[in-house]
Structure 1
Amino acid sequence: MEKYLAIAEILAYVRHNRTPLTVLPPDAVPHDEADGYRVQDALHNLLSPDFGLQVGYKIGCTSAVMQQYLGISHPCAGGLYMGGVHTAGTSLRYNDYVHVGVECEIAVQFANDLMPSGEPFTADDVATAIDAYHPAIEIVDDRYADWRSMDAPTLIADDFFAAGCVLGVPVARGKAPDLLSVIGRAVVNGTEVGRGNGADVLGHPHHALAWLANHLAARGKILRAGDFVLTGSLVQTAWLNAGDHVRMELLGLGSVEVDFKS
């Protein structure tokens, strides 16, 4: 619809020009979260020519620390684009973002499509479709003059802070540890800035994946073979300065690093 496209065009302009969004015009504010996801769909169509095809999803607000930090008590989803998926050890330009931050995550890649059966997806359903897990850094971008003034529908419309990810070496599902025992450490310039574990993600990261699968099914979409999903941060977002070095360590899954050069 024209309304959703008009909002998406504003958000795409911010993304392309790295101009912090102050406030959406009153007639361009998503009415509710369902409206926000409709705008997000329109935004994906606008961004794909420059950012690459959508290759998966991020799930936000799956841990208590992030729900409290953002003041949102339930998971929210955003898109991942091919151009924003990086390999471990890369260097990224700090000035390619408005205000870049990082989060410590367990990522998955799916081996098979998850086709709806008429019953809600469970954690066991999604587990059988997983190919591998990755230690991951989610890259988030505060694209707002004051993100605290933005409501959940607007954040959802704008991919819920998503700006990409850095993926470490994959660990095959059959060789992965019990995710409940995975301890994640966020380290910036050699200093630990956060710590959490797999149980912090809705009790188990597979619960977050089941939420996403059901959320997509309700919108006529599915998780497909090859899709990457960031299951949610184990720690509170760490906002960065130019030149910062980031390392995320996930016990049993490995580690992943990235530099944000000035």
Structure 2
Amino acid sequence: MLRSSRAAMDTASASPSLSRLLAEARRNHATLGESPPARAPADAQAAYAIQHEILAALDARIGGWKVGAKSASGPIQGAPLPQDDMHAHDARLRHAAFTPLGLELEIAFRFSRRFEPSATPYSDADVRAGIGSFGATIEVIASRFAAWPDIDRLSQLADLQNYGALIVGEFVPYDERFPFAAPSLRFAFDEHDVVELTPANPAGDPRRLLTWLVNHATSRGIAVTPEMVVTTGSYTGMFFPSDAGTAHGHIEGLPPVGLTLY
């Protein structure tokens, strides 16, 4: 019995970590089977640690962040975005590189100042005063788990919160009068409207997410810089294109953003 138990422990210790499996799947545009319970993160803090282990394994620089909430008062969560998976307006990406492939139209922000690592939280006033510019983005949703969406939420969080890529439109100077909770917009794929519900961010005003993000990063020793893009959740729900084509998003008051899948 002792020998069998020791063998089981040796096998477990030799198994690749979840962060390593997810990093390799991301690098190779591959998918995994459903994460075994022994590999699933124990809690949100473990999931956030795995996110950064993935970036370290890929030798990836943080180019930005995604952050969101499912309701105007609900809990907030987020993920760092690898710089190499961020692209300019009118980018071209392979449809087959993402499984599944969902598209969301979002608003993102950049700060005009640097938030240094700190054990003391930054205030809402500090963060709001630091917003420098904003623009439209298209997030490509993808998963490294073949069984998605039937995957536990902590494993999805560890997998960079189902992040595939981000298409970043042109930014304009920040305007606090902008109707952030529910702007007028159009989101189309091959000229067909793909917005089925009234456009709105489930988090309410997405600026409420920014203070959480700044404190989430800086409390972990990571500076939030003016170069980073912080995208803040979908106004359109998730659209799953079945084939190649061109997505085009226009949020009134912001420059358009587009993506071609081939």
User: In structure 1, how many angstroms separate the alpha carbons of the residues matched to 2:76 and 2:192?
Assistant: 29
Find the counterpart in structure 2 of residue 57 from structure 1. 65
Find the counterpart in structure 2 of residue 79 from structure 1. 80
User: In structure 1, how many angstroms separate the alpha carbons of the residues matched to 2:14 and 2:228?
Assistant: 29
Amino acid of the structure 2 residue aligned with 1:172:
P
Find the counterpart in structure 2 of residue 70 from structure 1. none
Query: Residue deviations 1:13-59, cap 9 Å, x none?
Result: 211223322222332111111111111111110123xxx42111111
CA pair 171-154 structure 1, distance change in 2 beyond 3 A: same
Are 1:37 and 2:48 matched, yes or no?
A: yes
Are 1:118 and 2:103 matched, yes or no?
A: no
The alignment yields a C-alpha RMSD, in angstroms, of 2.7
**Contact 1:201 1:208 survives alignment (8 Å):** no
User: In structure 2, how many angstroms separate the alpha carbons of the residues matched to 1:220 and 1:3?
Assistant: 30
CA pair 246-63 structure 1, distance change in 2 beyond 3 A: farther
**Contact 1:176 1:253 survives alignment (8 Å):** no
Q: TM-score, normalised by structure 1?
A: 0.84
**Contact 1:134 1:170 survives alignment (8 Å):** yes
Which structure is larger by alpha-carbon Rg, 1 or 2?
2
Find the counterpart in structure 1 of residue 129 from structure 2. 128
User: In structure 2, how many angstroms separate the alpha carbons of the residues matched to 1:119 and 1:218?
Assistant: 8
Find the counterpart in structure 2 of residue 6 from structure 1. 17
Higher mean Cα deviation, 208-217 or 27-36?
Answer: 208-217
**Contact 1:113 1:224 survives alignment (8 Å):** yes
**Contact 1:109 1:229 survives alignment (8 Å):** yes
Question: Which residue of the other structure, out of 17, 30, 51, is the alignment partner of 1:19?
Answer: 30
Find the counterpart in structure 2 of residue 233 from structure 1. 234
Consecutive unaligned residues in structure 2, runs of 5 or more: 1-12
Q: Percent identity?
A: 23
Consecutive unaligned residues in structure 1, runs of 5 or more: 68-72
Amino acid of the structure 2 residue aligned with 1:53:
R
User: In structure 2, how many angstroms separate the alpha carbons of the residues matched to 1:119 and 1:99?
Assistant: 37
Find the counterpart in structure 2 of residue 95 from structure 1. 96
Q: Which has the higher strand share?
A: 1
User: In structure 1, how many angstroms separate the alpha carbons of the residues matched to 2:120 and 2:36?
Assistant: 40
Find the counterpart in structure 1 of residue 185 from structure 2. 184
**Contact 2:119 2:219 survives alignment (8 Å):** no
Aligned length: 248
Q: Which has the higher helix share?
A: 1
SS in 2 for 1:148: coil
Deviating 4+ runs (over 4 angstroms)? 2-5, 195-198
Amino acid of the structure 2 residue aligned with 1:56:
G
CA pair 23-180 structure 1, distance change in 2 beyond 3 A: closer
Q: TM-score, normalised by structure 2?
A: 0.84
